Amino acid sequence: MKALVYHGPGKKSWEEKERPKIIDATDVIVRITKTTICGTDLHIMKGDVTEVKNGRTLGHEGIGVIDEAGGAVKRFKKGDQVLISCITSCGTCEQCKRGMYSHCEYGGWLLGHLIDGTQAEYVRIPFADTSLYHAPGGVNEDALVMLSDIFPTGFECGVLNGRVKPGDTVAIAGAGPIGLAALLTARFYSPSELIMIDVDDERLRKARGLGATQTINMTGVDAVKRVMELTDNRGVDVAIEAVGVPVTFEICEDIIAAGGHIANIGVFGEKVDLHMEKLWSQNITITTRLVDTVTTPMLLKSVESGNLHPEELVTHHFPLGEILKAYDTFSHAKEEKAIKVVLENR
Amino acid sequence: MKALVYHGPGKKSWEEKERPKIIDATDVIVRITKTTICGTDLHIMKGDVTEVKNGRTLGHEGIGVIDEAGGAVKRFKKGDQVLISCITSCGTCEQCKRGMYSHCEYGGWLLGHLIDGTQAEYVRIPFADTSLYHAPGGVNEDALVMLSDIFPTGFECGVLNGRVKPGDTVAIAGAGPIGLAALLTARFYSPSELIMIDVDDERLRKARGLGATQTINMTGVDAVKRVMELTDNRGVDVAIEAVGVPVTFEICEDIIAAGGHIANIGVFGEKVDLHMEKLWSQNITITTRLVDTVTTPMLLKSVESGNLHPEELVTHHFPLGEILKAYDTFSHAKEEKAIKVVLENR
Amino acid sequence: MKALVYHGPGKKSWEEKERPKIIDATDVIVRITKTTICGTDLHIMKGDVTEVKNGRTLGHEGIGVIDEAGGAVKRFKKGDQVLISCITSCGTCEQCKRGMYSHCEYGGWLLGHLIDGTQAEYVRIPFADTSLYHAPGGVNEDALVMLSDIFPTGFECGVLNGRVKPGDTVAIAGAGPIGLAALLTARFYSPSELIMIDVDDERLRKARGLGATQTINMTGVDAVKRVMELTDNRGVDVAIEAVGVPVTFEICEDIIAAGGHIANIGVFGEKVDLHMEKLWSQNITITTRLVDTVTTPMLLKSVESGNLHPEELVTHHFPLGEILKAYDTFSHAKEEKAIKVVLENR
Amino acid sequence: MKALVYHGPGKKSWEEKERPKIIDATDVIVRITKTTICGTDLHIMKGDVTEVKNGRTLGHEGIGVIDEAGGAVKRFKKGDQVLISCITSCGTCEQCKRGMYSHCEYGGWLLGHLIDGTQAEYVRIPFADTSLYHAPGGVNEDALVMLSDIFPTGFECGVLNGRVKPGDTVAIAGAGPIGLAALLTARFYSPSELIMIDVDDERLRKARGLGATQTINMTGVDAVKRVMELTDNRGVDVAIEAVGVPVTFEICEDIIAAGGHIANIGVFGEKVDLHMEKLWSQNITITTRLVDTVTTPMLLKSVESGNLHPEELVTHHFPLGEILKAYDTFSHAKEEKAIKVVLENR
């Protein structure tokens, strides 16, 4: 079969590779029908994720069809249409039992990281019973691909941890795929204001189309001052960090109202300054989280009922065989006006 | 009357001062029977709290008897024994309505800060109906004095925000009055392990007597390493910061288990390094809080029922007229083996 | 002034009455600009609410302008536009402090019940600072009148107590004003299915227009069977009772899924059969509540932001002087296709 | 091997039976070392639980040693000491994923009910990875046997659902094994008052020894009146029903304070009268639950740390071969002063 294989920083190829086989009785093999590329994949290509070794097939998102199921798999059989979760969970360890699948003792983020991933014609999924979902029929397939990672991530790390509630004023720093997924799922709770902050006017325009009530291009603008103006100097109830750099984290520190929640989604490569000399008395909460994908069933229901349209984030489609071109497009997101690219294996 | 008056950094005197008068119809005048000195008072004396001006009577803790009640006061009358809350709350603003009295638009921390305080023979208490509590009869009076500030602070900022629950492993950095109050109230929730960290063996000995299951003197010891040994490298479910300096905050960052809670109580004068490059994926929560004193009624009930003995933190008693000597003792807490000192106005 | 006065079961008149005066310093007098009639007023007229005595002015909903403010009122002054809460709260008692204003020791449901109410040109409001809200400018006034009672009631007793969450299947028994208010506010949380059950096709048609995904006219239909069909025999996550009679309560018992919530809003005059022989093992929650009106500020924000349009429930308008005619219309809701009637005092 | 086998109402025998074998790869066979008898077993013997068929080995509690493990079992191996949960859970279905193991699509209460149980020398445990716990070393074995059912039941259905919190007044109707387990675990949260209600003075004496602050023998006494006297007519914050008959449920309805929680544990055979004409406005919560055993890990930690001593409920020991005699003793609990009897297989 063909797969997108990592060969060290800056090097990848679409190459022939042996088809994955069942290793444990709880595994399945999925034939990928659609997959996508994550910002994390670009980080891997830069060499930022050192656990990823030469020869690894990348990708942790996708949908497909069960091609073969191990003997201990109860809930899936050959031919089933499935959604692959970016987080693999054993379902039996202490962390899984508390719903913190991201820290599963035997799983966690494995695909395209510690084991071969989904940017290939076939992928092996361990612990299939607890790491896959039945794909409902009659639903937009692009929408489903978005549920592997970015929607549970935006929702769990941003919206749930931020405890967004009706009437709230919410700011989201970063209008990339994750920030926009947070925006769309924040709307589940009917906040009064949804302020998006980014450096790209095109993405902010998109955000307005998806329900942002205010947008701030922080290029050459004092974003903190602007948020304070918009909120009568009160600040925001919830600030969601969806970039992963100190400057946006500190904006969140500066705009959070007393009693508010800063919910971090961003993947950080360095420490940030936490201004405890100001925040110690402000009754705030700061949260971090690697997505647990515990809300995937709810997100599936919301897609089915028409309450959520994740496909609105898909800007480009490519045949799976043109994945190198898709990486190129996704790497130049601003110029290409790309948000999410979908690869199709027909 | 006599009062302990601040005259700028390093200068205070026990001096004659005009007795306070009712200003608003919602005020009462309380004759102080017992008061105490807080670590914050020492900070004020160093000049760290610049809002406190020359001429201010210090003190935000105490019990007493209503001497006069304004015309709009409904719940208290002359002669009532009362507990004074360190936080004054109007009971009608948006913040009070959500239970965040610390950020009351008309109140908050006023006593001994923005208005004259409790280290005096008489004190004026604004918004008496929502800022005082009836002192139950037959209860240790020293215990009550401890409920003005340190017990709600340790409990709300440390234990409640830390979401201590049965079976948890809890570490508390700082075995001063606030840390010990957090220790005693953490026990309300039956954690399995209570690890106290400090630099003073005497305080750690006290902590063991109050229920700590492990103590670590961090002088010349790697406290992080020791905590990880005690927890089989798992870390703690709850880390409570009760000092207010970067070194102990960073210990909390280093010992917190995935999914854990860091609850800050400490008053910080500077920023801290938040190691997001490690914490972003650890599903942790960090909270800050100025005490709201919303749990005072529950703490009173627990004292009455014998479930809580705050008087165990009182190490010294002085007549109110010897408050300068009491300050001296409290300022040399280590040498004097002082935790809380009580001033009595007979 | 003129007022709608109760003179015993079946007897009421629109008559001249002395204008209310300030009694306590925390009172205000409000000149009513708009009021409405509640189903509870019809119950009073039948003699079901025996605490209501001959001579009482009815009504507990409305908006108006402050005509006079007592000396201890801090937040309101003559000329302020206000929304009157159906629940009066002192803001200082134990129940108010825990946010259970409905059980305020000095307040609760007073207006048009234990003291004179809002169906008059003027009304006295005790504890004004904690029982009134500033009416935001530029907002539909009919919408505001709906926030005195039915929207906080539908939301707090039905939606919040039912813990409606994204993706849920929700059934509401009763499509009267309260049931429809529950429907509109349930949508704050983006449930997947909203099933309305009633006996009136016109109201069910209205419900569909307001967002119900399914409607069941239970006349001659087995509503339980129909709900089970609609839910693949799973039952509903949340069942909201908005009628107040045993038959609809028992429907809720029969359709609730394991782990689900039955949230009662209905005012009951008799006991119901609770089928514990079936429910003991079903992990369900049943709640009751007299509205606390703690969510009024959030509802106001949602009206201002355009997320909520309570005025959609207003079907009829009358001058205040024609209130007897309005009662007549409201009493024949089905024939008149009436949901809420608004009285205007110009 | 030998097993206690049900042969229809009133008929049971200790007889030779074929040793259980692994059926699914996720099964294990456990050699029982200790088991016990539940009130539910007595119900089965009366014929009340019609799903239990002739030939069924009874029992759903116990500890033992893994004798054989199926090929797909990851967490247990031959020789491991284990605690058996009364609830079997697959760990992969929708209900298990939300922590509601009691309603597991493939499991739930199976042992001694739908499949052969633990009152035997050997038992087959399906879904071993999610239905067993490693027994910690150095812990009282009787304590562990109590964690199979009665402690998670008393804690989850009574204490957690009742939301017992520090300072609360709690009443428990029923001082049998489950009621006493609720008592001991309610103490995790430091309530101020723990009132036990029963008809047996011996059990109430035991309750006092275990921490009840008040006891009421309801024989010939108006228990409701007595509770209201003890609570200054306020009622209780939490009422736990641990009997399963209408009379005690109605006591709970009558003593619950506004805003309080009625947590049902009792297994009911008939409906009860729910007095909605009184309760509709009282802001109460009523919960039901079949134990999910989600708190077993926490209970194990609490036993290990010495915060919980479940063995205090064990009054009698018998060799497993004398189980018929043990049933006899347990059936005459009052005369024998029996609470829990432990069977030992040496």
* Tokens found for residue A111: 């695909």
Set of chain C residues whose Cβ sits within 8 Å of the Cβ of A189: 166, 188-190
CATH architecture of B152-287: 3-Layer(aba) Sandwich (3.40)
For chain C, the residues whose C-beta falls within 8 A of a C-beta of chain A are: 165-167, 187-190, 192-193, 213, 297-299, 301-302, 304-305, 307
Query: How far apart, in Å, are the Cα atoms of A87 and each of A61, A113, A303, C277?
Result: 9, 11, 20, 41
> CA of B70, closest CA in chain A: separation in Å?
31
Which candidate in B27, B73, B92, B96 is best for mutational testing of the C interface (most C CBs within 10 A)?
B92
pLDDT grade for C346, boundaries at 50, 70 and 90: confident
Question: Using CA atoms, how far apart are residues D203 and D222, in angstroms rounded to an integer?
Answer: 19
Residue C92 to residue B99, Cβ atoms within 8 A: no
In whole angstroms, give the CA distance from residue C204 to residue D287: 31
Beta carbons of B26 and C130 less than 8 Å apart: no
Q: What CA–CA distances, in Å, run from C270 to C174, C262, C273, D277?
A: 18, 18, 10, 5
For strands A132-134 and A169-173, give the pairing: unpaired
| Of C259, C270, C275, Cβ closest to residue D100 | C259
Task: Specify whether the CB–CB gap between D188 and B166 falls below 8 A.
Answer: yes
- Please judge whether C192 and A302 are an interchain contact, meaning their C-beta atoms are less than 8 angstroms apart: yes
The whole-number pLDDT of residue C140 equals: 96
Give the chain B residue whose CA is nearest to the CA of C95. B297
> Dihedral sign, CA of B292, B297, B302, B308?
positive
d(CA B127, CA B93): 12
As a whole number, the mean pLDDT across chain A is 97
pLDDT 10s digits, D105-120: 999 999 999 999 999 9
Check CB contact under 8 Å for D272 and C271: no
The separation between CA A123 and the C-alpha centre of its own chain, rounded to angstroms, equals 19
Mean pLDDT of the region B127-151? 97
Which of the four pLDDT bands, split at 50, 70 and 90, describes residue A324?
very high
Distance between CA atoms of residues D264 and D286, nearest Å:
7
Across the interface, which of C267, C277, C285 has its CB nearest the CB of D280? Answer: C267
CA distance C19 to chain D (A): 32
Indicate yes or no: CB of C298 within 8 angstroms of CB of A166: yes
Beta strands B132-134 and A256-264, pairing class: unpaired
Chains touching C by CB (3 or more pairs below 8 Å): A, B, D
* A322 DSSP assignment: G
| Least CB–CB distance from A166: residue in C166, C188, C193 | C188
Q: Do A91 and D130 touch (CB under 8 A)?
A: yes
Q: Is the pLDDT of residue C51 over 90?
A: yes
The continuous run of DSSP H or E covering C285 comes out as strand C285-287
CB contacts of C151 in chain A (<8 Å) are none
- Check pLDDT > 90 for residue A134: yes
Query: How far D265 CA lies from chain A's nearest CA (Å)?
Result: 24
Number of H helices, E strands in chain C: 13, 16
Question: Do residues C290 and C267 touch, judged by C-beta distance below 8 A?
Answer: no
Question: Chain B residues with CB inside 8 Å of D309's CB?
Answer: none
Chain C residues inside the 8 Å CB shell of D95: 258-259
Q: In chain A, which residues have their Cβ closer than 8 Å to the Cβ of D97?
A: 99, 130, 294, 297
Chains in contact with A via at least 3 Cβ–Cβ pairs below 8 Å? B, C, D
Q: Which of C166, C213, C304 has the CB atom closest to A302's CB atom?
A: C166
Architecture of domain B2-149+292-344: Alpha-Beta Complex (3.90)
Do the Cβ atoms of B271 and A277 come closer than 8 Å? yes
User: How close D108 gets to chain C, by Cα (Å)?
Assistant: 11
Strand-pairing partners, residue D264, are: D241
Instruction: Average the pLDDT over C33-53 and give the result.
Output: 95
Give CA–CA dist D342/D142, Å, rounded.
7
Q: What is the pLDDT of residues A198-240, one digit of tens each?
A: 999 999 999 999 999 999 999 989 999 999 999 999 999 999 9
The tens digit of pLDDT for each residue in C124-154 reads 999 999 999 999 999 999 999 999 999 999 9
- Least Cα separation, residue A206 to chain C (angstroms): 21
Which chain C residue lies closest to A213 (C-alpha atoms)? C305
Evaluate if residue A346 carries a pLDDT over 90.
no
Q: Which two tokens stand for residue A178?
A: 């994750």
Residue D16, by phi and psi: left (phi above 0), alpha (psi -120 to 50) or beta?
beta
pLDDT category at A34 given cuts 50, 70, 90 is: very high
Copy the structure tokens of residue A112. 């395209």
Strand stretches in chain A, DSSP E: 2-6, 12-16, 28-36, 62-69, 81-84, 122-125, 132-134, 169-173, 193-198, 214-217, 236-241, 256-264, 272-274, 285-287, 314-319, 340-344
Chain C partners of A257 at a C-beta cutoff of 8 Å?
Answer: none
Q: Mean of the pLDDT values across residues B294-299?
A: 98
Taking residues C224-253, report their average pLDDT.
98
Give me D192's structure tokens. 């101020």
**Dmax over Cα atoms in chain A, in whole Å?**
61
Provide the number of CB pairs (under 8 Å) joining chain B to chain C.
Answer: 40
Q: What is the pLDDT of residues C214-237, one digit of tens each?
A: 999 999 899 999 999 999 999 999
Measured between alpha carbons, how far is A46 from A267 in angstroms, rounded to an integer? 14
The interface predicted TM-score (ipTM) is 0.97
* Chains contacting chain B through 3 or more C-beta pairs under 8 A: A, C, D
- Both structure tokens of A265: 């989604």
Gap between the Cα atoms of A147 and A150, Å rounded: 6
Nearest chain D residue to B186 by CA distance is D189
Mean of pLDDT values over A291-317: 98
Check CB contact under 8 Å for D307 and B192: yes
Contact D92 A72 (CB under 8 A): no
Q: Which residue of B has its CA nearest to C92?
A: B130
Contact A190 C192 (CB under 8 A): no
In chain D, domain spans: 2-149+292-344, 152-287
Q: Do B71 and C25 touch (CB under 8 A)?
A: yes
Which portions of chain D are predicted below pLDDT 50?
Answer: none
Q: Judging by beta carbons within 10 Å of its beta carbon (0-12, 13-18, 19+), is residue D103 exposed, middle or buried?
A: buried
As a whole number of angstroms, the longest Cα–Cα distance in chain B is 61
- Chain D residues whose CB is inside 8 A of the C101 CB are none
Nearest to B75 among C25, C26, C92 (CB): C92
Q: Does C298 score more than 90 pLDDT?
A: yes
- How far apart CA B30 and CA D34 sit, in angstroms, is 64
Answer whether 0.90 is exceeded by the pTM.
Answer: yes
With CB atoms and an 8 Å threshold, state whether D187 touches B189. no
Note whether C104 and C88 are within 8 A (CB). Answer: yes
DSSP A312: G
CA distance A302 to chain C (A): 5
> Which residues from A are below 8 Å from C187, CB to CB?
190
Q: Which of B187, B305, B307 to mutate against chain D (most D CBs within 10 Å)?
A: B305
Q: How many CB atoms lie within 10 A of CB A238?
A: 29
What is the separation of C-alpha D35 from the centre of its chain, rounded to a whole number of angstroms? 13
Q: With contacts defined as CB-CB under 8 Å, which chain D residues touch A292?
A: none
* Rounded Cα–Cα distance for residues C332 and B343 (Å): 71
Neighbour count for residue C79 (Cβ, 10 Å): 9
CB C102 within 8 A of CB C294: no
Task: Verify whether the Cβ–Cβ distance B302 to D189 is below 8 Å.
Answer: no
Cα gap D196→D179, rounded to integer Å: 8
Residue B182 has a pLDDT of 98
- Mapped onto helix, strand or coil, the DSSP state of residue B81 is strand
Write out chain D residues lying below 8 Å of B304, CB-based: 192
Interface probe, candidates C301, C303, C308, C309, chain A, greatest A C-beta count within 10 A: C301
Number of neighbours of residue D294 by Cβ within 10 angstroms: 20
The 10s digit of each residue's pLDDT in D213-267 is 999 999 989 999 999 999 999 999 999 999 999 999 999 999 999 999 999 999 9
pLDDT tens readout for residues B244-261: 999 999 999 999 999 999
Angle at the Cα of A176 from the Cα atoms of A110 and A242, rounded to 5 degrees:
70
Tell me the average pLDDT across B214-234: 97
pLDDT at res. B67: 98
Collect all residues of chain C within an 8 Å Cβ-Cβ radius of residue B90: 74
Q: Count CB-CB contacts under 10 A for residue B193.
A: 18
- Which residues of chain C make contact with B130, given a CB cutoff of 8 A? 91-92, 97
